[in-house]
Structure 1
Amino acid sequence: MTAADAPARRRITLSGISSRAWEHPADRGALVALRELRGFDDVVRAFFGMWNERGFRLSVLASGIRVDHRQYPAVWQRYTEAAAALDVAELPELYVTQSPWLGAEAVGLERPFIVLNSACVQQLDEDELRCLLGHELGHVGSGHAVYKTMLMILTRWAANLSWLPVGAIALRAIIAAMLEWWRKAELSADRAGLLAGQDPAAALRLLMKLAGGGDLSQVDTTAFLEQAAEYSGGGDLRDSLHKIRMTAWSTHPVPVARAASLRQWIDSGAYGQVLAGDYPRREDDSSTSVSEEIKAAAASYREEFSRSTDPLVGLLRRLGDGASDVGEWVGGTAGRARSWMDAATEAAGRAHRAGRAAPGARAGAGPADSGDGTGSAGTPR
């Protein structure tokens, strides 16, 4: 067991830590680029009436239990501990709602709040719960809800344009790209949960419980990670195609893949480096270079491609210099995506202004599917 693996009896407060410290390179590159789009957040917030944040907040206020020092005090204690480790000054409201499934979600743009399924209170131990709450705080800290809302808007557009083949195909391609980003955002939040709890064993147990339920008395962590290795590189091309089918339209990576990714981040030394105080600070966020982050995202995909044991990826490597081609494609795609987002933002702004000017115009309502397993602008699931 390494020092980074040892459960922390006294958690370190990561003072001034930036969300860039836990964000996966592909997630971070997209976030930095999106944050640079002038007025983008304002446009998304204008469209957020379609999701009706206020209505969802009232719903959980009416049907759930708001956690504080009087209600679920043990959960509140774990929550404040996770927030202290991540140096979160203002705690989002936390609610517990009745559900037999392990899951949670971070919701909202103006005033984010976190909803925790009651199964988590019953089936997770203190360290696992702290990790889960840190996962959701990671989503809030990265601002993932804003961009997930954009994904929901695009999904609705795709449904409305399904009669138009060209428009539907273009939107589906954009949605597929954003879902790929969302899966990387979940890996980011897993890292935030680990930094909040500072207990790698608990972080892996959480993912095991999401996969197999709350009782781990007959489950082994090493065997679970062996499953992850078999999923990643076992089988033949038919298995590779099945994996693509399973994940292409999913918001979350499968639990074994998340466990393997988190284990890899720990083994790389990045986790221990953050605990040692070597991490980006929030005060430097404004000076972040978009081009450098996009290059880092491309490098991450190249490394993932070159390291993968998947049969299909292995075939592509044998057919040519696939890693280089993929890296160039990722960098080019990121640039094209940003150009498209500029155009989409401008168009959305015009549509919103026109809607406000129209007599009797009002935004639609309806809660969004957060789809997390741990739910949230992303949950572990």
Structure 2
Amino acid sequence: MDISKTLLVGLKADHFRHPLDLKATQALKQLPGLDILVRNLVSPIAEQFFYLENIASSVLVSDRQLPHLHKLLQEACRILDLESPQLYIRQHPVPNAYTFAMRGKQPFIVIHTALIELLTPSEIQAVIAHELGHLKCDHSVYLTLANLIALAASQLPMGAVLVQNFQSQILEWVRCAEFTCDRAALLVTQDAKVVASLLMKLSGGSPSLAPQLNLEAFLEQARSYDAISNSQIGEMLKQVRTSEMTHPVPVLRAREIDQWASSRDYQQLLHRGSIQYNSEANPKGGWRNW
């Protein structure tokens, strides 16, 4: 990294949590027993399973293994005021990244090699920061539950019927949580164009096409997507299109992050940071007064 960035000392999840995430989380908290069930029964087993899977089938990033990626992780954690999880790189042809966002012994992030090949270093850091957002906001319980429900719906003949209504509520929460984690990506990169460019490449990028993509045209495309809601039929079609998705459509996410970057809330978060980090001035990770 070659620019100075503000470290968000004392940053709390609710400082940047998206209002839709907050509302959806409060709705799920009204369902008794979910938190205890997932934390105490499901998560410890899943955590150990994924740890063994990652160690066996992926490359663990460190200061001795892919140190440039390790540096991106460490800087992102410093900015978000978060302890560093493990970061794994996995050979996979589908561009993707994910985290097991549980506050346990082995929190981790996994990034597929196809995604690494598609992005610039700044965009890779945006991906890391997005996944750190899940950890920062303790999204673990409902992310785990969403995965279990999806598995039940796909594997059991009656599963889809039994969990359909509950699945819709969980998926709504997951989509809202993604907006929050995009904000975490912006807080780390401190450049809305980096996050929007990442989303654009996830929509229609490839290693050969990525350098040719036009970000301004993509943002105009996002505004066209908004315009569909001007008609009742258009809004209905959008809701049907997204109701079973785990992520909001990329153009909507780009529009959201572009707007939040211009908001007073975002600017105040940057201004309240009391320390600036300059990795070019001190490659070992320098700290100095703002």
1:176 aligned residue (168, 180, 185): 168
Quick check: 2:153–2:159 contact (8 Å CA) kept in 1? no
Quick check: 2:101–2:139 contact (8 Å CA) kept in 1? no
Which residue in the other structure is 2:178 paired with?
A: 186
How far the C-alpha of 1:144 sits from its partner, in A, is 1.2
Matched letter for residue 99 of structure 1:
H
Which residue in the other structure is 2:91 paired with?
A: 98
Which residue in the other structure is 1:53 paired with?
A: 47
Q: Gapped runs of 5+ residues in structure 1?
A: 1-6, 279-381
Matched letter for residue 36 of structure 2:
D
Matched letter for residue 177 of structure 1:
Q
Aligned partner of residue 210 in structure 2, secondary structure: coil
Structure 1 residues 115-136: Cα deviation after superposition (integer angstroms, max 9, x where no partner): 0111233222121111111101
1:63 and 2:57 equivalent?
Answer: yes
Quick check: 1:17–1:86 contact (8 Å CA) kept in 2? yes
Distance change in 2, residues 1:122/1:152 (3 Å) = closer
How far the C-alpha of 1:274 sits from its partner, in A, is 0.9
Aligned partner of residue 276 in structure 1, secondary structure: helix
Distance change in 2, residues 1:164/1:65 (3 Å) = closer
Q: Which stretch of the first structure deviates more once superposed, 28-37 or 95-104?
A: 28-37
Q: Structure 2 matches for 1:148-227, cutoff 5 A? A: 148-155=143-150, 163=158, 168=161, 171-214=163-206, 215-227=209-221
The size of the alignment, in residue pairs, is 269
Matched letter for residue 246 of structure 1:
R
How far the C-alpha of 1:238 sits from its partner, in A, is 4.5
Q: Gapped runs of 5+ residues in structure 2?
A: 274-290
Quick check: 1:183–1:251 contact (8 Å CA) kept in 2? yes
Distance change in 2, residues 1:51/1:206 (3 Å) = farther
Distance change in 2, residues 1:63/1:129 (3 Å) = same
> Which has the higher Rg, Structure 1 or Structure 2?
1
How far the C-alpha of 1:58 sits from its partner, in A, is 1.0
How far the C-alpha of 1:200 sits from its partner, in A, is 1.5
Which residue in the other structure is 2:135 paired with?
A: 140
Structure 1 residues 292-320: Cα deviation after superposition (integer angstroms, max 9, x where no partner): xxxxxxxxxxxxxxxxxxxxxxxxxxxxx
More strand by share: 2
2:69 aligned residue (75, 78, 81): 75
**Identity value in percent:** 35
Matched letter for residue 178 of structure 1:
I
Cα distance in 1 for residues equivalent to 2:238 and 2:45? 31
Q: Structure 2 matches for 1:287-306, cutoff 5 A? A: none
Which residue in the other structure is 2:4 paired with?
A: 10
Q: Which stretch of the first structure deviates more once superposed, 117-126 or 236-245?
A: 236-245
Which residue in the other structure is 1:346 paired with?
A: none
How far the C-alpha of 1:272 sits from its partner, in A, is 1.2
Aligned partner of residue 231 in structure 1, secondary structure: helix
1:126 and 2:121 equivalent?
Answer: yes
Quick check: 1:107–1:114 contact (8 Å CA) kept in 2? yes
Aligned partner of residue 211 in structure 2, secondary structure: coil
Instruction: State the TM-score, normalized to the length of structure 2.
Output: 0.82
Which residue in the other structure is 1:231 paired with?
A: 225
Cα distance in 1 for residues equivalent to 2:238 and 2:197? 24
Q: Structure 2 matches for 1:317-336, cutoff 5 A? A: none
2:81 aligned residue (55, 75, 87): 87
**Higher RCO (C-alpha under 8 Å, 6+ residues apart):** 1
How far the C-alpha of 1:146 sits from its partner, in A, is 1.5
Matched letter for residue 5 of structure 2:
R
Which residue in the other structure is 2:265 paired with?
A: 270
Aligned partner of residue 88 in structure 2, secondary structure: strand
Structure 1 residues 197-240: Cα deviation after superposition (integer angstroms, max 9, x where no partner): 11212111111111111443322222111111112223855443
How far the C-alpha of 1:35 sits from its partner, in A, is 6.5
